[in-house]
Amino acid sequence: MKGLYSALMCSFDEQGKVNEQGLREIVRHNIDVSKIDGLYVNGSTGENFLISKEQKKQIFDIVKDEAGDEVKLIAQIGALNIDEAIELAQFATSLGYDAISAVTPFYYKFEFEEIKDYYTTILEHVDNDLIIYSIPALTGVNMNLEQFGELFEHEQVIGVKFTAPDFFLLERIRHAFPDKLIYSGFDEMLLPASVLNVDGAIGSTFNVNGKRAKQIFELAQSGQIDEAREVQKVTNDLIAEILDNGLYQTIKEILIFKGVNAGLCRKPMKSLTDDGISKAKQIAEKYL
């Protein structure tokens, strides 16, 4: 399960429906062109929190059918409705996903015991491994070392997608739990995370910048820090321009420029203007 995973994008049409052919093309691009090790399906990048349960199932099904066993697959099944999370966990497991992942419950200010019960309850209903999805900036849920330790006590909890800039906590988790998987979740911080010996990373920009991401990770692992720093610098230049133009919309437009039917983002996300589309093409030509 180690390695680099694209936080998979999903192609939607003008009505907000899943564009099956486009989704299949995104999967193939990630496997055949970006050369990633796996796909993280129905995460934030897949616009998961804007779609219905049935659409989530449809996406899980299409991705597994297209990818088969070529790469590892992680299904993000987290939801505020725990019954939905359980149903999605069971569905993805039945399809043969290698692991499930669940974002910490958000919006309401849940106590840690409630968060722990959320994970325990999901795992009581599914025979699969689980990766915690920690993204405090979007969920408002900050867990400390001891709390991660309590979650890791469950034998089915095999690791964490750590999307936070707290490298002190990251180092402490790595030191305390050497046998748990730690995936870095910030593409622009891949190098420092790699230096701290994470097991891999899960990133949005890997959909288009997967090759550079693998370079950074592998160079860092081999101790070639100066070389890795140069690749991270170019990567961060790319990320800065993507963010300035609109993260998900620009990645999709770059994929379209590359011949992939990446479709549109779901509302309330806006579409790129003509200037934004032109800028996305310029970014692709400059960096990719």
Give the DSSP letter of residue 264. B
Residue 24 CA: distances (Å) to CA of 58, 59, 61, 105: 12, 10, 11, 30
Per-residue pLDDT tens over the stretch 251-285: 999 999 999 999 999 999 999 999 999 999 999 99
Tokens linked to 82: 């725990």
Q: What positions carry a catalytic annotation? A: 133, 161
- DSSP state letter for 36: -
Q: In the numeric block, which tokens belong to residue 109?
A: 């200010």
pTM: 0.97
> Helices (DSSP H) in the chain: which residue ranges?
20-28, 53-67, 82-95, 112-124, 136-139, 145-152, 167-176, 190-195, 206-221, 225-245, 247-257, 274-287
So what's the pLDDT on residue 226? Answer: 98
Domains parsed from the chain with CATH numbers: 3-224 (3.20.20.70)
Q: Which residues pair with 131 in a beta bridge?
A: 101, 159
| Distance from C-alpha of 109 to C-alpha of 97, rounded to nearest angstrom | 31
pLDDT in tens, 15-56: 999 999 999 999 999 999 999 999 999 999 999 999 999 999
pLDDT at 283: 98
**Residue numbering of the annotated binding site for aceneuramate:** 44-45, 163, 185, 187-188, 204
Q: In which band, very low, low, confident or very high, does the pLDDT at 82 lie, cut at 50, 70 and 90?
A: very high
pLDDT tens profile 196-238: 999 999 999 999 999 999 999 999 999 999 999 999 999 999 9
186-203 per-position pLDDT tens digit: 999 999 999 999 999 999
